[in-house]
Amino acid sequence: MSFDRLQKRIDEMQNPTVVGLDPALAHIPPYIIEKHIGEKGETLEAAAAAVTEWGLGLVDALCDIVPAVKPQLAYYEALGPYGLMALKTISEYAKAKGMYVIFDGKRNDISSTAEAYSAAYLGTTTVGGSEIFAYDADALTVNAYLGSDCIKPFIETAVKHDKAVFALVKTSNPSAGEIQDLYFCKDYKQGKQGKKGIQGTESDIRIYTAVGDLMEEISRDTIGKFGFTRVGAVVGATYPEEIEFLRKRLKNTFFLVPGYGAQGRSAEDVARAFDDNGRGAIINASRSIVAAWKKSGGEFKTAARDEALKMREELKRII
């Protein structure tokens, strides 16, 4: 249940890493792109074919040492419908190789549309008398700005098909705080007149805390055997103090932590994302692994595997 499948795989591999399969074309070795342009011309179809070859190669290079992959949907979408075909092919291959597949799409909308998104990525679409999985990912990232009624359809689908979501709580980008760090008060008079004052510490009354609390509250009855609900949280490694605060507060929330590696954060920073048992978080690295060939000069699969092994050792050291 819940994040049980993911946590079990992390435990078995002793590696809480998810590799971001983000096919910015600059991450793909030029010889692969040139080969497909030679066959299909300078087209999005050629680019998608190059992405597919690259993605399948990375799955082969990583599937026995890394528990999960996280394709960033934007890069596939930038190649039009062919890009989505590449996403489907790579994702199905990764699943067949035993990997846990997190689609990073940061989707959401009003509840009827949230149902369509959950059907698209985690559940099924009904055509005539057939129930068909369009993608069948294991998890999807979602945006919670619209509130709980837009998260609930994802929870229902997740329960039905043993899937999960990660809601954005505190993101890793520089301007994350503009909205997320605002202090809030539920009672206007509290804020306006300060008669009673706001209860709690500074972190207690940040917007990201309100979002995190809400997500844990609405998913409480989906807690699995490792103690985590089906609604995880995206918490950026770039804000280590916030990770520490949120880890203590959201005891039943599994964290997806971007910002390690290319975004500049160390193993010590991300250590705070794990609970006392060394569980409850998975650390994402994208560029530093999938584009490692650019730094090392070696073959892209070998370079990615070497870098993933290095990251595993670094994380082992701190958990």
Q: Pick out residues in 182-221 that bind a copy of itself (CB under 8 A).
A: 182-188, 190-195, 197-198, 202, 205, 207, 210-211, 214
Map the footprint of a copy of itself across residues 280-309, applying CB under 8 A.
none
**Binding flag, residue 43, a copy of itself (CB under 8 A):** yes
Q: What is the C-alpha separation between 109 and 114, in angstroms, rounded?
A: 5
74 Rama sector, left if φ>0, alpha if ψ -120 to 50, beta otherwise: alpha
Minimum CB distance to a copy of itself, residue 157 (Å)? 11
**Binding flag, residue 241, a copy of itself (CB under 8 A):** no
**Binding flag, residue 319, a copy of itself (CB under 8 A):** no
Map the footprint of a copy of itself across residues 97-136, applying CB under 8 A.
104, 106-114, 116-117, 119-121, 125-130, 132, 134-135
Angle (deg, nearest 10), helices 300-318 and 44-62: 50
**Binding flag, residue 81, a copy of itself (CB under 8 A):** yes
Q: Is the Cβ of residue 187 or residue 299 nearer to a copy of itself in the bound state? A: 187
Residues near 205 by Cβ (< 8 Å), separated by ≥ 6?
183, 184, 185, 198
Q: Is the Cβ of residue 86 or residue 164 nearer to a copy of itself in the bound state? A: 86
Q: Which phi and psi (to 5°) does residue 128 adopt? A: 60, -120
Of residues 76, 136, 82, 73, the one with CA closest to residue 106: 73
**Binding flag, residue 176, a copy of itself (CB under 8 A):** yes
**Binding flag, residue 161, a copy of itself (CB under 8 A):** no
Minimum CB distance to a copy of itself, residue 40 (Å)? 10
Tell me which of 16, 52, 68, 82 binds a copy of itself, using CB under 8 A.
Answer: 82
Burial of 200 (0-12, 13-18, 19+ CB in 10 A): exposed
Of residues 206, 137, 192, the one with CA closest to residue 165: 137
Q: Which residues are marked as active site?
A: 106
